Chains A and B, each alone.
Chain A
Amino acid sequence: MRQIKKLYKKKLQKLKEWARDRFFGLFLLNLVVMLLVLLRSAGYFDPFYFISVNFIVVITMVLSILLLGVGRKVMISLALFFWVVALVFKFFDIDIWAERAGLYAYQALILGILLLLIESIFYKKS
């Protein structure tokens, strides 16, 4: 138990440091996401442009790369997470949500592959 507490404290400290380093990025990301959610609930650009949940998710993923420096491993992990969520929904025959989770997994995969490309290119150059 003590070990778990110790590990928890250690990780929390790391997380705090990580958040402190990216304070502005986190602030901006939250601001944009909140703004998008508000605009969506107000139907702001309708009928010229419909802000869908999918749009918000994609923007969040892209901004997390730009503002928080999320790398390939995190993005692929996100794809894995969505893929497991898709499995759970599919298992319980909730097809529409499974499709939606599958779409997020695919989008995260695309971003992950892009990051992998960039990583491979820069690794070589470095």
Chain B
Amino acid sequence: MKFIKKNWHYIVLVFLSLTPVVWFLGKGDVIINGVDTNFPLDPVVWFERRFYVWDSVINAGRDFSNSTAGMLFHLIQVIPYKLGTSLQNTQIFSFIFWFSSIVLSSYFFAKVILPKNKTAQIILVIIYSFNIYLFNTWENVKVSNLALYVSLPIFLAILVAFKNKKISLGRIIPFSILGGLFAAGAGLNPAYFITIILGVLIFWIVTSFVSWDRKEFLRLSKGTFLSLIFLFLINSFWIFPTIKFLFFSGTPISNLTDIGFTNWIDSLSENTSLVNVLRLQGAWDWYAFDELSGFPLYLPYALNYHYNPPFIIFSFALPFLALLSFAFAKVKDRGYIYAVFGIFLVLGVFLGAGSHEPTGTTYKFLARNVPFFSFFRSPWYIFTPLVTISYAGLAAFLYNRLSEASLEKYKFYKKFNLRHVLNLAVLVFMAGHFLYSYPLATGKIFRPSREDGFYVNFPDYVWQTKDNLQQDGKNFPRFVSYPHDDIENFDWGYRGIESILGLFSDQEVVSPSFIQSDSGLKTGLDQFYKHIKRGEYESAISMLDYFGADTIFYKKDTDTLAPSIVEEELVDVEIERVGEWSFIKSNDSWIDSKFYSPSRVYLNESDNHALAGVVKLLDDKYATVDSKDSRLGKIELETDNFLSFSEARNLTYDENPAAENHHILINVSKEGEYYLALERYGIQNLSEARFSLDQTTISDDLINPTDSLLLFGPLQLSVGEHEFRANRGEVQEIFPYDDYTEINVSNGLVEEVEGDIEELIVAFNESDEREDVFIPIEEFDPYSKYLLEFESRYLYGTVSTVELLQGNERTPLRSFKKYTGSIPDWIERNEVIDPVDTESNLNFLITLPGDDKGGTSKSLFRDVSLKRVFDNRLFLLEDGAEVLNSPDSLRVSKISPVEYEVKVDGGRNGYFLVFLDNYSQDWQIKSDDILPDPVHFMANGYANGWYIRGGKDEQVLSIYYHPQRIYHVGFAVSLLSALAGLFLYKFKLSK
């Protein structure tokens, strides 16, 4: 009992730290995983990736500089995993580590600012470690949030202790090294790291101002900058390469969009009003409700916080206590810390509100005018730790103030036994606080009872695939993932924003991603998926080489709108089925390494969009280069060494996109033999179609159809413009009626028709509710665009709308609405509609709203038409024999994701080399065996290409991602500064 009385606060700390254990109680053998959570199924694979600044696993590689910051976070997972614990226990260990880090760092801070009051210390710890801000942090186990949340109190504690002369200057070093290690994870989103620095600087400025004394100012400045220097030095291993990437990567970066991120600040700030931010309720997903049912889309517990009276009242409690604390503040000794909390609170709320008015105007101004400010794209999530630490500290101070012995002198204090009342109030409040934060205490933040919950039991075939890939050992050629949803949503509960294969292997995968710049790879991927959805499997499989892939990773266990692949229709492939997954491997692929030397190089005179259309026609081991790329000028080759391709221009489309006959203009820049390739979709009946070039019909023996293209040629073309005409035959009308009698009769409108009942549709409404004329379109093809045409005439009453509504059995997909206006004459209207390309149906609706004043409404329609437009593209492709030298052989060894060794045999003369990772000027080629200055350019719309001017016949090339060196320097600086810091502390500064 004595032990408990003496150490009760330690017992509380231990219990708080073990909270993650509760999250797993009764849940079985599950792992908390999905969306941003990303718990690796093989922690070692993820840990190893953090040693390289290039990640080649996703979408042909990306700079990974700031992701190396996650090294320590993943180390915590690797240690127990390597010791043989199960994945679940590894995760529990990792969670407990971070939860206890929050508890202990806040306890450290509490102990420094309120050294004598244990209850006040525990109040601070509980409010800081258990609050509704942390719901989102833990739900997604956000590394950068956790890093900020743990390290902020550590750094503040260091500075308070130093200011109060509890620690020496030298002692700042080991504590800063510790804080810096915890802060490392914030590098995953450097905005969080900057918030730590912001907190430290606010402390320094405010404290210096409030307790102004020149000598003290200099002393505090030394301490502050020593701690910041060590924070920076310890994190050099990710800071150095990240600075290189942001400032010296060739492309100027000052906004999020420059690195392919979406700036979602406005949507995230939609509900960050001051009242919500002050109550810590600024997370966007708290306010996402289903329009029909009114229930939360993601967070069931949000209902309590919005509508349950005790929860509403309690949501105002923390700010209330903070204000009360300011009112009772004793500025004598602690004025500076109150002021720091005050500035944290005011600034945290202002910044956390983001672009929400009334403070949003200033925030938007900063985002527009201050470089890199837009990187704070999730302001509430980034800045709210400043608010929570203020609330926790102020509540603790309030208790401390109210329990001070000096109050005992007041008669009423003794008379009403206010000390006991206060302690009871604290107990009640803390119990209320735990109840208020129940989703965090119980694990409900992980939505256990919902389909989109985070408790995941991975099926056996996932583990089997993991074993297969690890046994195979190769991670190239790549896989292309299908279906193509940005979020993989598996039937068995896991949802991921990147390919699931990345959770446990280094298998390179190409798949849709939220973070994808507009490159040839993306355009090619769109084209690939279009082929699959249209059933053009041959073309899809022939495109695999373009991505450096030979396999389609087909997942049949996802919730998707994408159509299934009919595996029986695939030819020339091998299919390996593992549970619900199929690995469809092309037998026709020539890709076996990331490097090859093309014997044909095409000059792309259009853009990457055109490139994707002709990829399947390009011969093996081709390369394409942008004809506008100025670096090509450095290559000492004649124009004849290059072949050309371009996209022709459809002149008819703008006038009448649904016309039968289309006039397409071809521009030829070099005389020679060409092929014309016309996209075939929609021209199924070739016998009806007619094609001519320069008014001469192209004979059938020159037409070679594939499943997605019609190839014309070879054709000899001279320099200049040529006229291609495509007559696709009669264009099918898919609006099901040309006689409207049935529509009028079935809608009971016959008596309203004035004129010919066959030629007019009458929209008539005499009620106060809307009336619809509803016509299903039977022969709708969702993979084509359509031209909708009709004439309308307004007679009286409310104004009608015409709508094409696309949907399937489960959900509406897209609506194309046309307001007809209130013009009493016949008006022609038309619009091209582009449906969502998924299996679905289409309905034609005429809607006439009711007149609530009791009037009647009437509009007339005629000549309704819905026809497929002809937007098929025509490409011009030069034919020619192999025109370039290429070495006899290339032997490639992968040394690491950032380094390859290529042994070239027969490289005496100049040749092209293509490396199928995303282009970056930082990929460099080093060799003593080649002539100097190889020309580096973008090949195939996304990859790296070099023209090597020749050299020795046998060459050894080293291809290296240069920022890795900067990472090594940074890593050495981190290590040495830690050692030097500890040395300084031990032998010099501590004296």
Contact = CB atoms under 8 A, between A and B. Distances in A.
A90 B327 contact: no
Contact of A83 (B312, B316, B346): B316
Given A76-B326, A77-B327, A124-B210, A116 B339 contact: yes
Nearest to B326: A76
Nearest to A106: B274
Contacts of A91: 309, 312-313
B2 interface: no
A70 interface: no
B343 A113 contact: yes
Contacts of B335: 116, 119-120, 123-124
Nearest to A80: B323
Given A77-B327, A87-B313, A113-B345, A120 B275 contact: no
A103 B274 contact: yes
Nearest to B334: A120
A1 interface: no
Contacts of B336: 120
B210 A117 contact: yes
B844 interface: no
Contact of B327 (A80, A105, A119, A125): A80
Interface in B417-443: none
Contact of B331 (A80, A99, A105, A123): A123
B212 interface: yes
B577 to A, nearest CB: 55
Contacts of B313: 87, 91
Contacts of A80: 320, 323-324, 327
B346 A109 contact: yes
Contacts of A83: 316, 319-320, 323
A119 B335 CA distance: 8
B821 interface: no
A119 B275 contact: no
A77 B326 CA distance: 9
Interface string A83-126: 11011001100000011001101100110110011011101110
A106 B278 contact: yes
Given A90-B312, A117-B342, A120-B338, A73 B327 contact: yes
Contacts of B339: 113, 116-117, 120
A91 B311 CA distance: 10
A116 B338 contact: yes
B342 A113 contact: yes
Contacts of B280: none
B503 interface: no
A110 B343 CA distance: 9
A86 to B, nearest CB: 6
A99 B342 CA distance: 21
Contact of B346 (A98, A103, A113): A113
Contact of B323 (A76, A102, A110, A123): A76
Sorting the interface of chain B by its residue count into under 10, 10 to 19, 20 to 34 or 35 or more gives 20 to 34
Query: B-side binding surface: helix, strand, loop or mixed?
Result: helix
Contacts of A90: 275, 312, 316
B57 interface: no
Nearest to B338: A116
Contacts of B332: 123
A109 B345 contact: yes
B342 A116 contact: yes
B210 A102 contact: no
Interface in A61-91: 72-73, 76-77, 79-80, 83-84, 86-87, 90-91
Contacts of B320: 80, 83-84
A96 to B, nearest CB: 10
Contact of B274 (A77, A102, A116, A120): A102
B209 interface: yes
Interface in B177-233: 206, 209-212
A52 B466 CA distance: 64
Contacts of A99: 273-275
Contacts of B845: none
A30 interface: no
B658 interface: no
A83 B346 CA distance: 15
A13 interface: no
A51 to B, nearest CB: 15
A33 B324 CA distance: 28
A86 B275 contact: yes
Contacts of A87: 312-313, 316
B358 interface: yes
B278 A116 contact: no
Contacts of A124: 210-212, 335
B402 to A, nearest CB: 15
Interface in B273-322: 273-275, 278, 309, 312-313, 316, 319-320
Given A98-B275, A99-B275, A120 B331 contact: yes
B79 interface: no
Contacts of A86: 275, 316
Q: Report the 8 A-B pairs with minimum CB-CB distance, sorted nearest first.
A: A120-B335, A102-B275, A113-B342, A87-B316, A76-B327, A120-B210, A76-B326, A120-B331
Given A54-B358, A120-B335, 17 more contacts: A73-B327, A80-B320, A80-B323, A84-B316, A84-B320, A90-B312, A91-B313, A102-B273, A105-B278, A105-B323, A106-B349, A112-B323, A113-B339, A113-B343, A116-B339, A120-B331, A121-B212
Interface of B: 206, 209-212, 273-275, 278, 309, 312-313, 316, 319-320, 323-324, 326-327, 329, 331-332, 335-336, 338-339, 342-343, 345-346, 349, 358
Interface of A: 54, 72-73, 76-77, 79-80, 83-84, 86-87, 90-91, 98-99, 102-103, 105-106, 109-110, 112-113, 116-117, 119-121, 123-125
14 contacts: A54-B358, A83-B319, A86-B316, A99-B273, A105-B319, A112-B323, A112-B326, A113-B343, A116-B342, A117-B210, A117-B342, A120-B338, A120-B339, A124-B335
